[in-house]
């Protein structure tokens, strides 16, 4: 038993995080995704929307630190509208909603004054496209009659990539990928994840 604990400690030290809670969170999220997709797909839209809005919150906080003035409320509302448009209107709904929401966001930013308009509208556009528009594609994957299969494939591929990147990084990792951003990530882990996901 002590060998198992020492092995776990060695892996945690090398990886820089506690593995067991990470596995528990991953399995819980997978269960939530599969249950909502199987029994109530509209609830899956809610799960994705919550994740996207939480991501919007993180990004707007980062922008505020860099002195960008973006509205968390407006961007949360806009990304929620994109999620709903993707579910109810498909590809056309996502495209039309994006085309309508962007000018509205620009107008709302302009109401606060012309100073910093370009900078702030660029940040809002980036947030809407990066999180809302791309998140809409996840909703589009879930829409067809084989939506569960599409989402399951995506989750399995992401899981394979993460798992094998972790294994290769822990066992073989010697060359840092981006030390300032994520010091534990290695080129070996990146390549291992890529190979086993392909």
Complete DSSP assignment for 92-120: HHHHHHHHHHHHHHHHHHHHT-STTHHHH
> How many residues would you count in the chain?
198
The radius of gyration computed from the CA coordinates of the chain, to the nearest angstrom, equals 20
Whole-model pTM: value is 0.82
pLDDT at residue 14, rounded to an integer:
66
Cβ partners under 8 Å of residue 151, min gap 6: 33, 37, 44, 138, 141, 142
Share in percent of the chain as helix, strand, coil (round to 5): 80, 5, 15
Report, as ranges of residue numbers, the positions in the chain whose pLDDT lies below 70.
Answer: 1-2, 4, 7-8, 11-12, 14-17
pLDDT at residue 16, rounded to an integer:
66
pLDDT at residue 1, rounded to an integer:
55
pLDDT at residue 171, rounded to an integer:
87
Give the pLDDT confidence of 100-130 residue by residue, as tens digits: 999 999 999 999 999 999 999 999 999 999 9
Cβ partners under 8 Å of residue 65, min gap 6: none
Q: Where are the domains of the chain?
A: 40-143
Distance CA 161, CA 170 (A): 14
């Amino acid at each position: 038993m002590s060998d198992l604990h020492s092995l776990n400690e060695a892996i945690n030290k090398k990886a820089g995080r506690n593995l067991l809670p990470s596995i528990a969170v991953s399995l819980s999220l997978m269960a939530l995704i599969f249950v909502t997709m199987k029994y109530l797909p509209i609830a899956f839209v809610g799960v994705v929307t919550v994740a996207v809005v939480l991501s919007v919150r993180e990004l707007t906080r980062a922008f505020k630190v860099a002195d960008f003035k973006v509205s968390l409320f407006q961007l949360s509302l806009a990304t929620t509208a994109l999620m709903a448009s993707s579910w109810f209107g498909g590809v056309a709904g996502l495209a039309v909603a994006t085309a309508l929401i962007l000018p509205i966001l620009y107008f709302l930013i302009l109401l606060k004054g012309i100073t910093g308009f370009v900078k702030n509208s660029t940040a809002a556009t980036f947030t809407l496209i990066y999180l809302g528009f791309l998140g809409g594609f996840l909703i589009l994957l879930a829409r067809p009659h084989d939506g569960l299969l599409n989402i399951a494939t995506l989750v399995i591929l992401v899981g394979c990539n993460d798992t094998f990147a972790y294994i290769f990084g822990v066992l073989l990792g010697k060359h840092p990928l981006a030390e300032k951003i994520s010091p534990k990530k290695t080129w070996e882990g990146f390549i291992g994840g890529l190979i086993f996901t392909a």
